[in-house]
Copies of this chain bind each other. A is one copy, B any other.
Amino acid sequence: MDALTSAQLGALRRGMEPYVVFNEAEWIVFIQHISVHNFKKKQLFAEAGKVCNHVGFVLKGSVRYYHIKDGADITNYFSFENDYVSSYTSFLTGEPALNYIEALEPSQIIVITKKNMELMLNNPMLAYRMERFGRLIAEHYLICYEDRVSSFITQTPEERYLKLLETGREVLQRMPQHYIANFLGITPVSLSRIRKRILTEK
């Protein structure tokens, strides 16, 4: 856990700006309640069975959400740079998380603990801003998930794969294909066939 650099703080502030704008005095108090952590590849950000008591903002790197079902590791979701990251339902409800979150590559993530979030919610100087910030995070996930549900209803697995590639994240080239297959809701074998189909269609 290190102090944040001004570049990191700038990224966070820009990420929040569309929704929450702090004045200077508020910002100074806010940044006293956050920290930045460096995650090694495969290091866990959150763990199934444990309450997720923190929420993050990916400055650099990427993470993978997954759960274990019948002994198999199933990838649910990814967060890339400038995304929020959390087992947010667990963070909100205080129930144990259902999924793990791990770094896909060495990552820098700004972390706000629930305790610090609550301190800010109870600090009259920040309470109103923090309610708004909480709403922002929920809305961020909301819009992502809405898109995702819609993609399952209106697109084929092949279309979903091509759409994912269009984001141009190079980490997609490096991560195991079965993570992507899970994310798309298909088997790794099926993804391999889709990839071949795309190549030969070109």
Contacts and interface: CB of A to CB of B under 8 A. Distances in A.
Interface string A106-144: 000000000000000000000110011011001101110
A146 interface: yes
Interface string A149-189: 11011100000000000000000000000000011010000
Contact of A146 (B135, B143, B145): B145
A87 B99 CA distance: 28
Contacts of A74: 153-154
Contact-residue size bin, chain A (C-beta under 8 Å from the other chain): 20 to 34
Nearest to A148: B149
- Chief secondary structure at chain A's binding surface: helix
A139 B141 CA distance: 9
Contacts of A89: 142-143, 146
A131 B132 CA distance: 6
A88, A89, A145, A150 interface centre (most CB from chain B within 10 Å): A145
Contacts of A138: 135, 138-139, 142
Nearest 9 pairs between A and B by C-beta?
A131-B131, A145-B145, A138-B138, A135-B135, A152-B152, A138-B139, A153-B185, A142-B142, A134-B135
Interface of A: 69, 74, 76-77, 88-89, 92, 127-128, 131-132, 134-135, 138-139, 141-143, 145-146, 148-150, 152-154, 182-183, 185
Given A88-B142, A92-B139, 11 more contacts: A89-B142, A128-B128, A131-B132, A134-B135, A135-B138, A142-B145, A145-B146, A149-B152, A152-B152, A153-B182, A153-B183
